[in-house]
Amino acid sequence: MSGTATAVPPAAKAAERPPARTNRRPVRPARIVLYTFLTVAALGWLAPLLFAVYASLRPYQETAKYGYLSLPRHLSLHYYSEAWTSAEMGKYFRNTLYIAVPAVLLTLFFASFVAFALSRYKIPGRKTLLVMFTAGNLLPPQVMVTPLYTVYTKIHLPYFMSSSGTLYDSYLGVIAIHVAFQTGFCVFVLYNYMRTIPHELTEAAIVDGASAWRQYWQVIMPLTRPALGALGTLEFTWIYNDFLWALVLMSSGDKLPVTSALNNLRGEFFTDYNLLAAGSVLVALPTLIVFFALQKQFVSGLTLGANKG
Amino acid sequence: MNKSLPHQLPLMSRRSLLRGAVVGASAFAVPAALAACGSSSSGGSSGGSGTVNKNVSFGSNYSDAVPKKALGDVMAKFQTDKGFTVAVNTVDHNSFQENITRYLKGSPDDVFTWFAGYRMQYFAAQGLATPIDDVWQSIGSNYSDAFAKASTGQDGKKYFVPFYNYPWALFYRKSVWQAKGYQIPKTVDELKTLCAKMQADGLSPIGFADKDGWPAMGTFDQINMRMNGYDFHVNLMAGKQSWTDPKVKNVFSLWSSLLPYHQKGALGLTWQEAAQSLAAKKSGMYLLGSFVAQQFSATDLPDLDFFAFPQIDAQYGTDAVEAPIDGFMISKKAKNVAGAKELLKFLGSTDAQNIYLKTDPSDVGANSKVDTSAYNAIQKKSAEFIGAAKQISQFLDRDANPTFASTVAIPALQQFLNKPNDIDGLLKNMDAQAKTIYAGG
Amino acid sequence: MTVPSSVTQASTERVTARRRRLGRFTRRDIVILSILLAIPVLFDLSLIWATTAASIGLSFSNYNGVTAIQWIGGRNYEQIFTIYEPFWRAVRNNLLWLGVLGLIGTPLGLFFAVLLDKKIRFTRFYQGLFYMPVVLSLAVVGFIAQLIYSRDYGVLNSLLGRADHPTDWLGDPSINIWAILAAVVWRHTGYVMILYLAGLKAVDPALKEAAVIDGANERQTFFRVVFPTLRPINIIVLVITVIEALRAFDIVYAVNSGRNGLELLSVLVTQNIVGEASRIGFGSAIAVILLATSLGFVIVYLTQIIREDRQ
């Protein structure tokens, strides 16, 4: 396991302990039980997904006749290409990126700066701010729908920002609520993470005459990388999977994200569930890829409040 | 905003339209020179030559592949014939319905797809739709009185252009019935006898599925209209009759006497699964809309047939047919009302419906002059069936207040299916909720 | 958990530190700090808190999204508690949800985390598998539920060999909530596991080694030494569990729109506010009830934050 090139705060360092030395230990019976249990449990955890993939490879008529747990008579990737084309997934994946990428980046940027300011400086009212952000993330989102919709329809925007002329039915509006809602959680996590970074580091920068921005951008941010990686993964998953905000704040079918596009595969009357399975697997892929790509940083970065005080 | 980049000009006119009175002549005041730039932006941009703006936006819930393509063909014909540009905004039908209020209040398209019945009247009464009596003056002769009535708002004005519909009835496989020698029941008692016979033959007599909540409404409507007549159905749905009326209780009592013949586990089944039981010859018949045909393979389809839910009270016979109508309306906020009306005239024409029906195997054109020669057997029979009806109802969730249908009727019917014995308590509760909802809160 | 003797000393130190630091801000620092703090604060206040407050107001009206607002006092609340059938079922289901997550889902997640923290091979592979359900969206989970639980075609009934008397896992209102809860545990465990893994990695290994030297067995080491040091994360997991149970929404919505035994408060709010019904005043009142319940737990969470902050 190669450590990341950046310096890691002490809390995260524990996570980077190389497991190499354990490899040569003789295998004890307890270990065998452990591995057997883990393997069985993991397969049990994976089985529903595997069944979904299996179903997506079989024609609807076949599973409707013989049930999902039956031997295959036909297997093909036909549903994948059909889902991709008939639900126009390429277009909707692009829409999701228009929403998720700016929303994740802005959330991380604002949250990290707020966390930086609250954890490094004794700003007046900082506890109130911390409470406000954190509690805001815990409110049920459905409460906000109607007032938000009403406000959005009243805010007019120039055409280059929103083709509908208002904040309603625009990417900006959806991004804004995601950022507002998710910043709370990120502030909380990052605040706890940054508190584990020794004060001496910023003190030294202050002695060198570094501005607040430089302390944030050049001292703290590089040290916060693992936490940002972890949060990036979580936030991407959440924002990517959201359908509520897009559903209630958008009216143009062409702008909807890919989660809503899956509904296009649900017929008004007839739904081909195996086609839906193929579409669902396609939609799940990006979040899985992001998770596996960032997995290494994920656990070490999520040390939340688990500091040793 | 002094920059005179060409692509910003349509925006200016669009924004001023949004703020201004929206409808009428102001929409045509934009110089024709600007129209060329406007066509690329989203629907509703100004443009035009002569008197009528030729850009119309269209909000569609035809999200399934086949209907979407069929509708695309219809629009293509309109564009080439009349020189219009139609910007179609397709949203999946489920989201479209959930969003309808926000959509119509926000930035709706000029024309939008919707349903006939109280569900149309409700939004018209809220002032979210534009009356289209002038459209009906030119297309009225294409429609029977029942369709005209179904397109009329509570204020007596027309708001809706019907496109197609489909009947609800008891569907069965001819081969099964021939093999067992079953006869089509004429009365509900004959139906019960038949059910008992089917059960003895090892069949599940009446296919049934209600996981999604709405199919049970179809059964309620059939029994209610056979027992109490069409007018009672309409009044009950419109909140003018009490749910505690003994007539309603009778409907549930009769239904509970039929429940033992219904497919088991209905609350966990989708209609598709129940339709598969019919196709697999496990169920004897199935009360559903003609879209049940979509679950039949091309080889099995000719074996499918249907008959009307049998008579309960001779006074009402089998006069009423439930045949929900899908069609189109113009939003109140439409930016191009004149153009939208041209589009509706076209959609009400025989030509448009012929094009659409070519690709749709289970619906029937609403226009009485459509070409029926290309219909399959089910479509032909459906057309005759609806044509012979004395009254046409929509469906519980289309004839009733949408709030009542979705938040009261669905849970109540499901509760009845779980506990068919406590009808009084159920109806009392439905009535209490109906009273507050129909009173507006 | 505070250490009283050092408090006064620490606070005087803080005051001087604060003076020192604020004194060092240049005007540019202050501008940047104010702008970059003001933007997220304004977002949060206007989009989250102001809209929530407005909804509390709407819960006393019969607003339907179109016609003018009429104030009707507490009538919505009265109806919810008296004649709105699904409400009490939703409350019961939310409580069941909380119980099952708290007693099964969360402990299971902790258990997996402890096992995976044992310096085993392929740990990341196992982590990945257990975590996978967390990243799946509504549509996938809804489909998987249908696939497994469908009465006639589902995998479960086929495996149990109950073709003759199939169990109606999703349709029978007395058992469908349990079937769904099994799926919920499936999804929740990975989330909790990841949080605890992060916490366990941060536990100083010297603590464990010391306990082993003192002769403690594995279980004693965990419950007496490791678990208490996880206290901050325990609180977070507890609150997340509670919030997940109260906010639970997507899985029942995907299965049958949250009806027939699968009612949940958030689903009722959605059916009334978001759906075609557009009964906004009424839906807001249910949301306010949900909000009030959440607030109790939010307060626990916040006192923890503030207390930790003092450390």
**Is A218 within 8 Å of chain C by CB?**
no
Report the complex ipTM. 0.83
Subunit contact A156:B15, Cβ cutoff 8 A = yes
Residues 6+ apart with CB under 8 A from C82: none
C-alpha gyration radius of chain A = 24
What DSSP assignment string belongs to B190-245?
HHHHHHHHHHHTT-EEEE---TTSSHHHHHHHHHHHHHHHHHHHHHHHTT-S-TTS
**Residue C300 half-sphere exposure, CB side, CA atoms within 13 Å?**
15
Partner residue opposite A138 with nearest CB, options C29, C136, C294: C294
- Name which residue leads in pLDDT, B322 or C292: B322
A149, B102: Cβ pair inside 8 Å?
yes
| pLDDT tens-place string over residues C99-114 | 999 999 999 999 999 9
The better pLDDT of the pair C14, B119 is held by: B119
Output the pLDDT for position A25. Answer: 55
The reply to whether residue B101 touches residue C66, judged by beta carbons under 8 angstroms, is yes
Neighbours of chain A (3+ CB pairs under 8 A): B, C
List the structure tokens of A98. Answer: 């228009």
Q: Tell me which residue in A138, A147, A237 faces C54 most closely, judged by beta carbons.
A: A147
Which residues from A are below 8 Å from B8, CB to CB?
159
Length of chain B: 441
Comparison of pLDDT for C162 and A257, the residue scoring more: A257
CB within 8 Å: A65 and B90: no
Query: Which residues of A are less than 8 Å from B104 in CB distance?
Result: none
* Residue C276 sits at the chain B interface (C-beta within 8 Å): yes
Determine the distance in angstroms separating the CA of C171 from the nearest CA of chain B, rounded to an integer.
3
Q: Residue B85's beta-bridge partner residues?
A: B55
Across the interface, do C86 and B411 touch by the CB < 8 Å criterion?
yes
> Which stretches within A57-139 are classed as H helix?
60-66, 78-86, 89-120, 126-136
User: Which of A256, A254, A238, A261 minimizes the C-alpha distance to A246?
Assistant: A256
Exposed/middle/buried for C159, CB within 10 Å: 0-12, 13-18, 19+?
Answer: exposed
* Shortest distance, CA B402 to any CA of chain C (angstroms): 5
What is the tens place of the pLDDT at every residue in A159-218?
A: 878 878 889 999 999 999 999 999 998 998 888 888 888 888 888 888 888 888 999 999
Interchain pair C44, A23: CB under 8 A: no
Inter-chain contact A156–B18, Cβ cutoff 8 Å?
yes
- Per-residue pLDDT band at A39 (split at 50, 70, 90): very high
Check CB contact under 8 Å for A69 and C158: yes
Chain C CB contacts of B91 below 8 Å: none
User: Could you tell me the pLDDT band of residue A15, with boundaries at 50, 70 and 90?
Assistant: very low
Using a CB-CB cut-off of 8 Å, the residues of chain C touching B100 are: 276
Provide DSSP, B39-103. TTSSTT----BTTB--EEEEEE---SHHHHHHHHHHHHHHHHHH--EEEEEE--HHHHHHTHHHH
Chain A residues inside the 8 Å CB shell of C197? 299
Give 10-residue mean pLDDT values along chain B (441 residues).
Answer: 33 35 35 37 40 89 84 94 93 87 92 94 93 95 90 95 96 96 96 96 95 93 97 94 96 96 91 90 95 87 95 95 96 95 96 88 88 89 91 93 91 94 94 90 56
The Cα–Cα gap between B293 and B288 comes to 10
Distance from CA of B185 to the nearest CA of C (A): 29
CA distance B100 to chain C (A): 6
Rounded to whole angstroms, the Cα distance separating C209 from C85 reads: 57
Measured at the alpha carbon of residue C4, what is the angle toward residues C1 and C8, in degrees to the nearest 5? 130
Helix or strand run (H / E) with residue B4:
none
A-contacting residues in C 71-110 (Cβ below 8 Å): none
Q: Is A153 on the interface with C (CB under 8 A)?
A: no
The Cα C37–Cα A114 span in angstroms is 6
**Is residue A75 within 8 angstroms of chain C, CB to CB?**
no
Q: What is the pLDDT of residue B10?
A: 34
- Which pLDDT does position B199 carry in this prediction? 95
| Identity of the residue numbered B33 | A
List all residues of chain B from 351 to 410 with a beta carbon under 8 Å from chain C. Answer: 402-403, 406-407, 410
Is the CB of C291 less than 8 angstroms away from the CB of A139? yes
Nearest to C170 among B268, B403, B410 (CB): B268
A85 in B contact zone (CB under 8 Å): no
pLDDT at B208: 96
The pLDDT tens digits for A260-309 are 777 777 776 677 888 888 988 898 899 888 888 888 777 776 655 444 33
Q: Is B328 helix (H, G, I), strand (E, B) or coil?
A: strand
Q: For residue A308, give the nearest of C21, C190, C204 by CB distance.
A: C204
Please enumerate in sequence order all residues whose Cβ is within 8 A of that of B425, keeping only pairs 6 or more positions apart, or say none: none
Quick check: B228 contacting C, CB < 8 Å?
no
Nearest-CA residue of chain A relative to C159? Answer: A69
> Which among B108, B276, B291 is the nearest to A269, CB-wise?
B291
Nearest CB to B407 within list C172, C256, C279? C279
Coil, helix or strand at residue B152: strand
Q: Which of A163, A267, A269 sits opposite B42 (nearest CB)?
A: A163
Question: What predicted TM-score, i.e. pTM, was given to this entire model?
Answer: 0.85
Count CB pairs under 8 A between chains A and B.
93
> Does the beta-carbon distance from C135 to A241 stay under 8 Å?
yes
C32 CB-near residues (< 8 Å, 6+ apart): A211, A212, A213
How close A94 comes to chain C (CA, Å)? Answer: 17
Q: Does B34 or A249 have the greater pLDDT score?
A: A249
Which of C83, C169, C276 has the CB atom closest to B429's CB atom? Answer: C83
pLDDT for residue B46: 40
d(CA C128, CA C125): 5
Q: How many CB pairs under 8 A join A and C?
A: 311
Residues of chain A contacting residue C26, judged by C-beta atoms under 8 Å apart: 211
* Cα gap C133→C94, rounded to integer Å: 21
